[in-house]
Amino acid sequence: MRQSINPQMQLGEVDISAVTFNPKSRDDIPRLLRGLQHIYVNPELRQQVFDVLETMIPSSRNNGRPGMSLWNILVFGVLRLVTNCDYDRLQELANEHGSLRKMLGHGPYCTHTYHIQTLQDNISLFTPEILDQVNLLVVAAGHELVKKKKNRYVAVPIRSS
């Protein structure tokens, strides 16, 4: 059975909510990871996203080995679709990119590597349609976060002299 998030932290692992990124980076990956971190730290939003991700898993999911966690599928799927990379580049990022590995829950002592076939089998389930559904949830949460003002412009009376 797939887990949403692995509840057991490993030695040296940093909590995903505590991962820091270079705020001056102009690359798209740190910005993307900050957005995913926002999903992770908001339990309601995270649960809604995982409910959407549950729909993409085949009904025979309780057979055989446990698959990749839903969090890892979300991170890899969003990364692949947003950066428009192939599975070879995704594998390189998954095994070598430090911030990405922290977001996946791997500490500095973790030697776990991702094989190309594992990525293809799991990430192919994360379609652009699933991304659209997740995007709708995130946009709605963003609107709640910002709370647009109804009256942007306030009329100021002009004094006549």
pLDDT tens for each residue of 69-123? 899 999 999 999 889 999 999 999 999 998 999 899 888 888 889 999 999 999 9
Residue 1 has pLDDT above 50, yes or no: no
99: tokens are 């911030």
Determine the pLDDT at residue 151: 42
Residue whose structure tokens are 């095994």: 95
In the three-class reduction of DSSP (H, G, I as helix; E, B as strand; rest coil), residue 88 is classed as helix
Biggest CA-to-CA distance, the chain = 84
53: tokens are 């991700």
Mean pLDDT score, 53-60: 78
Read off the pLDDT band of 148 (50, 70, 90): low
Read off the pLDDT band of 150 (50, 70, 90): very low
On average, the pLDDT of the chain sits at: 83
Give dist(CA 30, CA 36) in Å, integer: 10
Determine the pLDDT at residue 58: 72
- CA separation (Å) from 148 to 31, 111, 141, 151? 23, 45, 12, 9
Mean pLDDT score, 16-34: 89
Q: Are 22 and 28 in contact (CB under 8 A)?
A: no
Residue 160 has pLDDT above 60, yes or no: no
Q: Are 79 and 90 in contact (CB under 8 A)?
A: yes
